[in-house]
Structure 1
Amino acid sequence: MKKLLLIVLAITATFSVNAQIVTPQPSPFSKLEQKVGLTQITLEYSRPSMRDRVIFGDLVPYGKLWRLGANANTKITFSTDVSIGGNEVKAGTYAIFATPNETSWNVVFYSDATNNGLPKVWDDSKVVAMVNTKVYPVSEKIETFTITFDDLTNSSAVLGILWENLYVGVQIDVPTDNMVLTNINDVMNGTPTSNDYYAAAVYYLQEGKDISQAKIWIDKAITMAGDKVAFWQLRQQSLIYAKAGDKKGAIAAAKKSLAAAEKAGNSDYVKMNKDSLKEWGNL
């Protein structure tokens, strides 16, 4: 019994020696993933808070390079080549730094993302893009340093930086159109399915491309779908016909989509079709 008690005490002492106090980080780590078109963008950064401090012009001086956050580098990773400020940036991971000023910032994308903060020796050859961007005031105080992806389109996003009482944004352009057109060409030269024709037609409509070609593809998609055609497919057919100037065909497709949406109990598509029919003078 005495031996067992000694073993228990020894184990307890070992746990006591090895135990560590864990506390929250003052600038917690954040990871943000965003799909822009066909490009995956991943952002990793730490988020300091104001804590009653004056940030820009004091804690973060004007005119000096800043690590853009806290702790390790703020890093951004692109799954494809992108364009930033007119500079072609290859797929990969980059550190982001900034030089804040009162009315504008210089935001720098740097090819070496392994530094713990600012590089000990700055190398201009590692600057892959530098963008001068305007400072916009915000009405509400932003307590915690925040980076966002704003104004998303198929071909671009704005990297938004917010803290204290300001916002700055850097546009990132992605090669979605080239990638999609290459993919469409490859598929159409093979054996496209109804879904392929539908996707290509809708993309052409959304991106303002050859609407006559979009009309051919949507018709093939609807014909191939047969009795399984969905109300949302008919909805896109009506929009393509309207864009092509075929109001009669647009109305006919919208009526079919409306009937199918009513049968499916989808109030959103019922409303959209009724709104279009009213716009086209048929309701």
Structure 2
Amino acid sequence: MKSFTVYLLVLISLTTIACQSESEDPTTDRRKSPIAIAQVNHEGTYAKIVYGQPYKRGRVIFGDLVPYGEVWRTGANEATELTVTGDIMLAGERVEAGTYALFSIPNTETWTIILNSQLGQWGAFDYNADYDVMRVDVSATKMEDSAEAFTIQFEEVENDSTNIVMRWDQTEVRIPVEFIGDGGA
């Protein structure tokens, strides 16, 4: 009976450890903001942006929480990622089909948009410009109203073009997108 009790205790301990290790995802424990997805499909080319969606919660965002002139993960949690299944033009620069980390450098009137080939980064802490695939500058405008949640959206496609629109607090950034790829066909 004593060996059965010891066996049962060992079995319960092993089961508890196995259950804990399966549920302990280090990124889930660190993730403070929900995951959001922006997507568009045009003539066989699919574009998707996966990002962490932080909220303002009474904070001063640009120039404080997100400093001007510094590389930002363009959201929260993991670095934002852009996936395209066909070649596109992003703010006038050709982007080949693939998946890229999307970083930005916010400033008051312009943002530098960066596509980087190093995937799976947490934030911009290990950002390395040596992996940059593209950098473009786009205008930033001040909105009258304030967006509580950081949002990224694709506008409706018109004439093979759309815009990636990012909004947070009183800032709006538009990145022109032109579909030129074959969608992987």
Q: TM-score, normalised by structure 1?
A: 0.53
Name the structure 2 match of 1:29.
Answer: 35
Confirm or deny: 8 A CA contact 1:33 1:42 kept in the other structure. yes
Is the CA contact 2:116–2:129 (under 8 Å) kept in the aligned structure 1?
A: no
- How many residues are treated as equivalent by the alignment? 176
Q: Secondary structure of the residue that 2:114 maps to in structure 1?
A: strand
1:90: which partner in 2? 96
Q: 2:129 aligns with which of 122, 125, 129?
A: 122
Code of the aligned partner of 1:160? V
> Corresponding residue for 2:165?
160
What's the C-alpha RMSD, in Å, of the aligned pairs? 2.9
Choose from 106, 109, 127 the match for 1:100. 106
Within a 5 Å distance, the mapping from 1:34-183 to structure 2 comes to 34-118=40-124, 119-123=126-130, 126-142=132-148, 144-153=149-158, 155-175=160-180
Q: Of the two structures, which has the highest relative contact order with CA contacts closer than 8 Å and spacing of 6 or more? A: 2
Retained in 2: the 8 A contact 1:36–1:157? no
Structure (1 or 2) with the greater strand fraction: 2
The one-letter amino acid paired with 1:171 is P
Confirm or deny: 8 A CA contact 1:37 1:156 kept in the other structure.
no
Task: State the shift of 1:165 in Å.
Answer: 2.5
Q: Give the number of the structure whose alpha-carbon radius of gyration is greater.
A: 1
Matched-pair contact (CA < 8 Å) for 2:79–2:123: yes
TM-score, with length taken from structure 2: 0.77
Structure 2 alignment gaps of length 5 or more: none
Percent identity between the two aligned chains: 30
